[in-house]
């Protein structure tokens, strides 16, 4: 007894012949006719299944059409070619861009202008990978001048102290503060030693003490 029959209780139907032979043997043209008939049946059923899936998708999606010169966002998933090119991660934006439409190749395919870091990708994409971009003047950011020191470092200034904390290290309590730094209009937070910050930036602690000494009614009136 064959291992397949011992496991499943029936003979193995190989791609050569999808016909249950049982006790009868098929030879020559008869076997070819039976196999061709099964292949036609499989193809017809696959076409029916594809038609059903297409009807489901068409109900949820609207036809998209872009003109030359418009800008679109490009979908970037970790498993797609664009995602692998820019090494996307789970929390990265789902779309990158915007990029300009150069030419409409087909009703569902467009050629877009890619930046140099995506030059290794083919610049023709399916319409399902694109999203329309609506121009907005607030999206344009003017670059601010950056002052670089002689040692090629940037100057940052502390804005405020957001929080205080204490940690015990080797039996000794160390006081820390959470400092908000301003660098070219962008705020960053770091933990610093309270003694060092009080020595270098005493004005931050005067504001903090003043705020902590306010009456309770003032705290209740502040909107957070």
As given in the structure block, the two tokens for residue 119 are 């030059």
Does 98 sit behind a cis peptide bond, omega within 30 degrees of 0 on the bond before it?
A: yes
Which residue ranges make up each domain of the chain? 13-57, 71-135, 157-210
Q: Which residues contact 118 (CB under 8 A, 6 or more apart)?
A: 82, 85, 86
Range in 77-86, 188-197, 205-214 with the lowest mean pLDDT: 205-214
Q: Is the dihedral of CA 101, 102, 105, 109 positive or negative?
A: negative
Out of 54-63, 125-134, 165-174, the most confident range is 125-134
Number of residues in the chain: 224
56 burial (CB, 10 Å; 0-12 / 13-18 / 19+) is: exposed
77 close to 83: Cβ distance less than 8 angstroms: yes
Range in 59-73, 90-104, 201-215 with the lowest mean pLDDT: 201-215
Q: What is the pLDDT of residues 24-46, one digit of tens each?
A: 555 667 777 887 888 898 899 99
DSSP code of 95?
Answer: E
Give the CA distances from residue 72 to residues 16, 91, 101, in Å, rounded to whole numbers and listed in that order. Answer: 49, 21, 7
- pTM for this prediction: 0.44
What mean pLDDT do residues 139-159 have? 72
- 157-210 CATH: 2.40.50.40
210 close to 219: Cβ distance less than 8 angstroms: no
When pLDDT is cut at 50, 70 and 90, the band that residue 71 belongs to is very high
The 3-state DSSP class for residue 180 equals: strand
Does 45 sit behind a cis peptide bond, omega within 30 degrees of 0 on the bond before it?
A: no
Q: Which residues contact 167 (CB under 8 A, 6 or more apart)?
A: 173, 174, 176
Q: Give the whole-number percent of the chain exceeding pLDDT 90.
A: 13
95 close to 75: Cβ distance less than 8 angstroms: yes
* Integer Cα distance of 128 and 63 in angstroms: 10
Residue that the structure tokens 């070819």 belong to: 32
* Integer Cα distance of 211 and 224 in angstroms: 15
As given in the structure block, the two tokens for residue 156 are 């940052």
């Amino acid at each position: 007894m064959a291992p397949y029959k011992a496991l499943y209780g029936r003979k193995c139907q190989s791609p050569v012949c999808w016909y249950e032979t049982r006790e009868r043997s098929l030879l020559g043209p008869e076997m070819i006719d039976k196999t061709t008939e099964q292949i036609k049946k499989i193809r017809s059923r696959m076409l029916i299944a594809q038609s059903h899936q297409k009807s489901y998708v068409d109900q949820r999606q609207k036809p998209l059409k872009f003109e030359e010169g418009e800008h679109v966002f490009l979908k970037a998933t970790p498993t797609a070619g664009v995602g692998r090119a820019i090494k996307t991660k789970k929390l990265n934006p789902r779309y990158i861009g915007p990029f300009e439409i150069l030419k409409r190749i087909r009703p569902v395919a467009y050629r877009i202008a890619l930046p140099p870091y995506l030059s290794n990708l083919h610049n023709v994409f399916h319409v399902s990978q694109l999203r329309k971009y609506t121009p907005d003047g607030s999206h344009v950011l003017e670059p601010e001048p950056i002052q670089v020191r002689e040692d090629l470092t940037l100057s940052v200034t502390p804005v405020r102290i957001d929080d205080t904390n204490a940690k015990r290290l080797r039996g000794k309590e160390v006081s820390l503060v959470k400092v908000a730094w301003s660098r070219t209009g962008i705020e960053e937070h770091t933990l610093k030693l309270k003694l060092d910050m009080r020595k270098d930036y005493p004005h931050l602690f005067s504001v903090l003490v003043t705020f902590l000494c306010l009456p309770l009614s003032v705290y209740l009136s502040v909107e957070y």
